[in-house]
Structure 1
Amino acid sequence: MKNNVKFDHNDHAIINSYKSILDGLSLFLGDGFEFVLHSLEDLDRSAIKVVNGQFSNRTEGAPITDVAMQLLKEIKKSGDNNKNMVYVNNQNCRSPIKSATLPITGSNGKIIGLLCINFHLSIPLHDFLSGFFNIFDEKAIKPINENYATNSEYLITSALDVAKAEVHNNDKITASNHNKIIISLLYERGIFELKDAVHIIASDLKISKNTVYLHIRNCSKQA
């Protein structure tokens, strides 16, 4: 079919990488949102990932929609491959759906897929709220303290303070091993990927940078 897009290896890798994104969006937003990932490699069976398809009864292998085809034509006409479409879908006078169709680009900037998001406005309010505000379900969402640092130095020192507190409050860790364990915790949390982390941590712990590097090497061997 002439409208199908010819994929290369990179295109397959890019389009498939979006599958886990749909699962993550569903976990974050709840069951009130339907997500469909379309691949333009085969328009007759373009839906390669469907999450919460119970609303529209769509499943993997479903064809592309007429609205999606319209968007692709508009993109081709305008030459803007980043054109998004957000609209209200009346779905033949049934319950309205707030929808978004977002293009996915692959090799050489060509459009290889579409990410479609549908919020069905008829969903009962308690179902929407229980899905969207599921922050108290620790089995679904793990509580984590995330640091929105304004610069990398603050991020490093904040992470260092947390690690020091963990180690100093653990009576099972001997004083001679404090620095070793602190550096190990920071290594596990990726802090040494940041510029100047070794210098800042060595200065705070009052040890040499070589000592920090020694502990890092030992951590990498155990990883």
Structure 2
Amino acid sequence: MDQVKRKKCHPYLVPIIAIVETLSETLGPDYEVVLHDVSGEEHQIVAMAHGELTGRTEDSPLTDFGEYLLRSEEEYKGVHYIANYPSYASDGRPLRSSVTLLRDGNEKIIGFLCINYDMTRAQILKDLGTELTCVVPLKASQVAEETFVPSSGSLLQKILEETRQQRGGRPLRYTTTREKLEIMSFLKSKGFFRLKGAVEALCKELGKSRYTVYGYLREIRTGDNDNNNEDSSQD
């Protein structure tokens, strides 16, 4: 830490120097920590860490906001700190700043403990995160998203759960024959019957035999063929 000590430092501020050192080591190089002594006519920096973030040195003046706080001391009576307000380095880099108003026994402001966070690297990470997590919805009408599952059995259960949710979460075995045919059509559109073990899983879900399930399949296929024939005759 670039530490600067002055002989005329207000005695109340001496213990704060160790806090500047602690904050510097804890927060890291993206944080500038500065202790100002404003108890006398000549304001001075008592201790500073990572001044390179703002380009300041021990001879740099108090900021315009610091001067404003002194001029408006009565307005800020009872205020002990101001946190996370926006500020800017001399080269325009955005900072997030906080200041603790240090007072003597008479509640007069004698110093400022300032923390200025350079958000440059955080902004880069934020932009990178946005870029890396940007997705474009699939255009396929029947596929809203892609899901990776460890096995065909897992995918079968996922499709069956989606089918149940479409019907209010009701178990599929408690549906009418017409509803079961609608379910068969939906499952066919999802590619359910191309998966290994599909018929067995559906038999268990519907509480029906393989013979009955295959009968449902034949019926919806017959319906599909009839619809195709009607379309052809209209052409």
- TM normalised by structure 2 equals 0.44
Structure of greater relative contact order (alpha carbons < 8 Å, 6+ residues apart): 1
